[in-house]
Amino acid sequence: MTNIELLEIIEQAAKEGATTLELSENQLTELPREIGQLTNLTELYLYNNQLTEPNPEIVEQGIPAILAYLQK
């Protein structure tokens, strides 16, 4: 998935007030700050990505921690 495609998905999710975002298996190494705008998220799927940002400790804490990190 290209960065442009990812941002389009996030933009669409924001418009819809999405509660779920599926980003598994997209070879992501970092999450864009724009995900921090998706305050309705209750499910965020990130399986099989090589995330380095945010670090795994934050990701393991769950969606509220991820959103807080991305909103900084």
Burial 29-46 (b: 16+ CB within 10 A, else e): eebeeebbbbeebeebeb
- Residues 6 or more apart whose CB falls under 8 angstroms from that of 24 comprise 45, 46, 47, 48, 49
Listed residue (71, 64, 69) closest to 44, CA to CA: 64
Q: What is the mean pLDDT of residues 25-30?
A: 93
pTM: 0.85
On the question of pLDDT at 40 being above 90, the answer is yes
On the question of pLDDT at 1 being above 90, the answer is no
For the chain, the average pLDDT equals 94
Distance in angstroms (rounded) separating the CA atoms of residues 53 and 55: 5
